[in-house]
Structure 1
Amino acid sequence: MDWKTFQALLSGVNKYSTAFGRIWLSVVFVFRVMVYVVAAERVWGDEQKDFDCNTKQPGCANVCYDHFFPISHIRLWALQLIFVTCPSLMVVMHVAYRDDRERKYRAKHGEEAKLYSNTGRKHGGLWWTYLISLFVKTGIEVSFLYILHRIYDSFYLPRLVKCEVSPCPNIVDCFIGHPTEKKVFTYFMVGASALCIVLNICEIIYLIFKRLVRTAKKIRNRRPPMTVHHDDYHDDPFNNRNHPLSKMALKERPPSFRTANKGYLNPPTLKIEEKIRASAPNLTVDL
């Protein structure tokens, strides 16, 4: 496997990823690829040679090893890493397709013409491609974890296994080489895979939530704004208590009910009394 090509692929995908996608790439490259290349390959270097059985029956050790290890951990993880990184090629190919369309469009309409504001922006079809790639990566991670769980019984590696498969003459004890070391690396790789699944789910939720917020803003901007007429508001007799009127407005304002009926409610008795006193000063009038 060409790990330099694999690293170049991950670096190219990093340009079009979100924050969760960049963390996922870091976890894949540092905690899975580097551990796989530096340490795990050496632990599982020649595991069939380290698989010893207490019998010299020809073919018994080979059959027992194939029975308990139908597929090697190291080869299964290599397949998992290849399949997990393949969906990222969908995003890279979609961006390359956009770049090609942009180049043809500029060649036809001029250098300043633009078909896309940014070919790497996750908008439209590229958003769907990116989201589908996340679902595919999550499905691949879960599938390989399930396969490893089914084959090796909850990721556990015993020190001793008992084999009674033909051509073994009877129940044979077989010993696995470096069992504790293999168990530690198995749990570590399973934990890194589970962390990648959590990051993929977080990125899916983030993309969907961001798309919903953007759609809600578009719907809000399409609605016509409601205009409030301030003149009508001030003319309302129920709302103009706290708004003082000018002198001209007070003069033009019609009289209220209390002012119009003031003459009827309070008769001018004082003016009549003054007239009577002026005509007859010695007369006392009780009103």
Structure 2
Amino acid sequence: MAWHIVEKLLEQVAEHSTLVGKFWVTFFFVLRFLMVVSIADTVFGDEQGSFVCNTLTPGCANICFNDFSPISLIRLWALQILSVSLPTIIFMVYTAHKMTKISQAKKLRQDEMDKKKKMREEAKKLKEEARKKAMADRRRRLEESGPPVKNEKKEKEPEKDKDDDKVVATKLDSDTPSRLMLAYVVQVVCRLAVEIGFMVLQFNIYVFKFWVPELFKCARWPCPNVVDCFVSRPKEKTIMLWVMFATGLIMIVLNLIELYHLGARKILEAWKQRGQDITKEYRVSSNMPHFGTHGGHGGGGRYPRGYPQAVGIRVGYARSSMSGEGGNDYDGDRFI
């Protein structure tokens, strides 16, 4: 499975996250991503092959294992990782698209301001030339009519329009649409709901809850009677089950802390100001593809890396263990 795609996308999410959000991404990599793809995969690798029942009836062992484990825990946890990552990845894609449109809108605004400034300068220049020409004509007429009167008041030069030289500055915060704040809140709520949903699902679909039993009694058809089935490494699987439940609780707590950190007042203000958008003001089109690089005007930019790159966790092992990219020739391991 191409886990490195999810990895790269999540690395970019922390660029737009709060401090608690950066901790969430880090813990997600350490406690979920690496735990599932490197450790849990070896513990729950071949459950059905090690599930032995004391019967020779054809199909009995398969039916009993299906009753014991409707879906492999490793696959359920992998699906949970993808489901939790999906709202965050969607937010990242939306944010990258929106920031590109904001950059385009800023460029349009700057071009408009430069154009207005140039027009003001040209108008001021023409006005100054007309004033000088009028003064020269008047001086010539005075010289022709006779000597100037001593008490004649000196002509006042027109005052400069102070507003002509002003360039209205716009704060950076006003350029960032409130919809990005709302989108961030929505993705936090979505991943919180997904975490809770998967924990409830895991608790309900398995006959075992928090302890993997050593012996599982099965009386399903086509078994002739109650059949004893034996589970491999039950204590190790129980410990792994506890670890995954604990990591799920940690993820839920981090999401709740992040919502508290964002605050109801900020969320309410963002909701009230959701209509303010510089991209709508300058009508930046979102229907055309953008071929520029991320990082501002002038090119040469690239997508910024996220916070997890700085914490020293190697993710290449997780990538190679699931997608088969390992080997002597593989040099793709990177540290985050």
Contact 2:54–2:228, Cα closer than 8 Å, also in 1: yes
Secondary structure (helix, strand or coil) at the match of 1:49 reads helix
Classify 1:58/1:214 alpha carbon distance in 2 versus 1 (closer, same or farther; 3 Å): closer
1:99 Cα deviation (Å)? 2.4
Partner of 2:117 in structure 1? none
- 2:115 corresponds to 1:61: no
- Which among 206, 219, 232 is matched to residue 164 of structure 1? 219
User: What pairs with 1:41-80 in structure 2 (closer than 5 Å)?
Assistant: 41-80=41-80
Distance 2:82 2:49 in 1: 27
**1: distance between equivalents of 2:175 and 2:235?**
46
Q: 1:119 to 1:36 in 2, by over 3 A?
A: farther
Question: Residues 120 and 175 (structure 1 numbering): CA distance in 2 closer, same or farther, change over 3 Å?
Answer: farther
In 1: Cα distance, 2:85 partner to 2:44 partner = 23
Q: Structure 1 residues 112, 40: closer, same or farther in 2, change over 3 A?
A: farther
Query: 220, 237, 240: which is aligned to 1:185?
Result: 240
Report the residue type matching 1:65 in the other structure: F
Task: Give distance in 2, aligned partners of 1:3 and 1:108.
Answer: 39
Q: Look up the equivalent residue of 2:198 and give its one-letter code.
A: F
TM-score by length of 2: 0.59
Q: Relative contact order (alpha carbons < 8 A, sep ≥ 6): 1 or 2 greater? A: 2
Change (3 A) 1:106 1:192: same
Amino acid at match of 2:61: A
CA distance in 2, matches of 1:86, 1:2: 15
What TM-score, normalized by structure 1, do the two folds share?
A: 0.68
Q: Which residue does 1:154 correspond to in 2?
A: 209
Q: CA deviation at 1:72?
A: 1.1
Conserved 8 A contact 1:98-1:119: no
Partner residue, 1:35: 35
Contact 1:16/1:120 (CA < 8 Å) preserved in 2?
Answer: no
- Determine if contact 1:90/1:129 at 8 Å carries over to the other structure: no
Taking the aligned partners of 1:147 and 1:11, their CA distance within structure 2 comes to 28
Matched-pair contact (CA < 8 Å) for 2:24–2:254 = yes
- Letter of the 1:129 counterpart: A
Render the CA deviation track for 1:227-250: whole Å, top value 9, x for unaligned: xxxxxxxxxxxxxxxxxxxxxxxx
Determine helix, strand or coil for the equivalent of 2:31.
helix
Change in 2 beyond 3 A, CA 1:26/1:157:
same
**Residue in structure 2 matched with residue 231 of structure 1 by the alignment:** none
Is 1:142 equivalent to 2:196 in the alignment?
A: yes
CA distance in structure 2 between the aligned counterparts of 1:206 and 1:107, rounded to whole angstroms: 33
Distance (whole Å) between structure 1 residues aligned to residue 12 and residue 215 of structure 2: 45
Counterparts of 1:100-115 in structure 2, within 5 Å, are 100-106=100-106, 108-110=108-110
- The alpha carbon displacement at 1:24 in A equals 0.8
Q: Whole-Å Cα distance in 1 between the matches of residues 99 and 259 of structure 2?
A: 25
- Contact 1:87–1:137 (CA under 8 A) maintained in structure 2: yes
Which residue of structure 1 lines up, in the alignment, with residue 160 of structure 2?
A: none
Residues 242-273 of structure 1, C-alpha deviation per residue, up to 9 Å, x if partnerless? xxxxxxxxxxxxxxxxxxxxxxxxxxxxxxxx
Q: Classify 1:99/1:169 alpha carbon distance in 2 versus 1 (closer, same or farther; 3 Å).
A: same
Alignment match of 2:262 (pick from 200, 207, 211): 207
In 1, the alpha carbon distance for the partners of 2:170 and 2:48 equals 58
CA contact (8 A) 1:91 1:130 kept: yes
Gaps of 5+ in 2: 114-168, 271-336
- Contact 1:55/1:172 (8 A) holds in 2: yes
* Count of residue pairs brought into register by the alignment: 214
Question: Which residue is 2:118 aligned to?
Answer: none
Which residue in 1 is equivalent to 2:251? 196
